[in-house]
Amino acid sequence: MSESSPILVFGHLCPDTDSVISALAAAELLNGRGIPAEAAMPGPLTPESAFVLRRFSLPCPPRVDSAAGRRVALVDFSNAGQGPADLREADIAAVFDHHRCDGDIASRAPELWLAPVACCATLLAGLFRFYDVVLPPGLAGGMLCAILSDTSLFKSSAATPQDLRAAEDLARRAGVADIAALGADLLTAKADISGCTMRELVLRDFKDFTMNGRIVGVGQLEMPDITPVEPLKGGLLAACAELAAEGRHSVMLAVTDLGREGSLILAASPRPDLFELAFGRPLHGGEAWIAGMISRKSDMVRPLRKAFESLGRNPD
Ligand SMILES: [Mn+2]
């Protein structure tokens, strides 16, 4: 394992804006501390991330699909299952995350930064101050977008006062006078579903979670208004079923309507009763409208994990 090549910094598979921008930010922070590092991303750029990179003239991190034999730093995730397949063969030099840590990765380096905030960029913004590293204005703008994206423009129940304060500070550094206008542009970019296959839409913002020994995939599409998705429901549900057949117990897509502040869930599962237990509404033809559901972490994964934990250990 080479100690001389730069640390490769990347986020989770199907990288969202926070994963892409936090990789750039953590690489900048490490370089600023005299630790050579370069950002990468283990998946394609989403329309939202492409908009953010363009808007703030930030470089697109190169694609990386293998981590074996590299020194790496993880941003926005800390579970082996959400990274490249050979992540366990990498030397993990640092972790920056804001999700629960299942403890299935190991690191020799005592550099694990985990914080209960809604966005990894919020944590990193604090670390630039901690290490007294200069934060360039363009990167600050990107980090602001990551916070707006991860908090669904602060509508998410996962948003904390730290996220809000970081966003205000980053806006000042980036010269963004109107945060709400930037948020609206971001949402327009995020909601662009033109030219995508149903599978690409389910995978656009998708994560696998291990719940009581079962793999459950949860994707999310956020839109100002979900009407354009109505005619696609059948195709999206079929794509969920296809992804479930690839080694997962269940796959759910939440199509989040930020205007109505709720989500239409589409679920392919042998146990639809678990979704009713988690969200308090029965699925009809694999779908249900759940009022108030916006945050994947708080409103989807947490109750679903509880429902799966009510199952025994036996396969079903
Ligand atoms: Mn994040």
Q: How far apart are CA 297 and CA 62, in angstroms?
A: 28
pLDDT the model gives residue 311: 85
Ion ligand 1 neighbours, Cβ < 5 Å: 18, 76, 120, 150
Determine the distance separating the centroid of ligand 1 and the alpha carbon of 120, expressed in angstroms.
5
- Token pair in block for residue 200: 């690409």
Determine the distance separating the centroid of ligand 1 and the alpha carbon of 70, expressed in angstroms.
23
Question: Do 7-188 and 198-309 fold alike per CATH?
Answer: no
How big is the chain by its Cα radius of gyration, in Å? 19
Determine the distance separating the centroid of ligand 1 and the alpha carbon of 76, expressed in angstroms.
5
- Token pair in block for residue 306: 């509880």
Q: What pairs with residue 73 in β-bridges?
A: 9, 94
Task: Give the contacts of 113 (CB within 8 A, at least 6 positions apart).
Answer: 94, 95, 96, 97, 123, 127
Per-residue pLDDT 10s for the chain (316 aa) are: 445 799 999 999 999 999 999 999 999 999 999 999 999 999 999 999 999 999 999 999 999 999 999 999 999 999 999 999 999 999 999 999 999 888 788 888 889 999 999 999 999 999 999 999 999 999 999 999 999 999 999 999 999 999 999 999 999 999 999 999 999 999 999 999 999 999 999 999 999 999 999 999 999 999 999 999 999 999 999 999 999 999 999 999 999 999 999 999 999 999 999 999 999 999 999 999 999 999 999 999 999 999 999 987 665 5
Determine the distance separating the centroid of ligand 1 and the alpha carbon of 98, expressed in angstroms.
7
The domain ranges of the chain are 7-188, 198-309
Using CA atoms, how far residue 204 sits from 15, 88, 183, 184, 285, in Å, is 8, 25, 19, 19, 23
With a threshold of 0.95, does the pTM exceed it? no
* CATH architecture label of 198-309: Roll (3.10)
Q: How far apart are CA 19 and CA 40, in angstroms?
A: 10
- Token pair in block for residue 177: 């006078």
CATH of segment(s) 7-188: 3.90.1640.10
Determine the distance separating the centroid of ligand 1 and the alpha carbon of 312, expressed in angstroms.
31
Determine the distance separating the centroid of ligand 1 and the alpha carbon of 184, expressed in angstroms.
19
Determine the distance separating the centroid of ligand 1 and the alpha carbon of 102, expressed in angstroms.
16
Determine the distance separating the centroid of ligand 1 and the alpha carbon of 144, expressed in angstroms.
12
Contact (CB, 8 A) for 108 and 91:
yes
Helix (H) / strand (E) element for 114: namely strand 112-114
